[in-house]
Amino acid sequence: MLDERKREFVFKPLHGFAGRGLLDSAAGGRARLKRLANQGYVAQKTVAKPCMQAGGMRLWTDVRVWAYRGEIFLLSGRASRRPDRLDLSPPGGWLPAYVSVERKTPCLRQVHTASR
């Protein structure tokens, strides 16, 4: 079943970080996906990054949520100059992130800087 929908996912090692061991969906057939599942890999659904305008440029944003036992304990927001890679050079960078008390969901806040 997963091999029929593999284009919707990337495959990551369960204990990996920073893209180490990341496999694009095109890299695996049915047999390889079955082996990966038995070798500690997980399938992560891909989601298109939202885009915003800042400093006359398009920036792609994402928010990272760290949770433990259902409670959020850390948030970080990022704005990248590239949709496919992390490029935090200006006007991109880290974005203030907070949890909305009313909605209990992570939110990003765009910060406007005065032009000099």
This prediction has a pTM of: 0.56
pLDDT attached to residue 15 = 75
Alpha helices in 20-89 (DSSP H): 30-38
CA–CA dist 76, 95 (Å, integer): 7
Tens of each residue's pLDDT in the chain, 116 residues: 666 777 777 788 877 666 677 777 666 677 777 777 778 888 778 788 889 888 889 999 988 887 778 778 888 889 999 988 889 999 889 888 877 766 666 665 554 444 43
**pLDDT value of position 115:** 40
pLDDT at 79: 92
Distance between CA 28 and CA 93 in Å, rounded? Answer: 33
CB 25 within 8 A of CB 11: yes
What pLDDT score was predicted for residue 2? 64
**Which residues share a beta bridge with 94?**
78
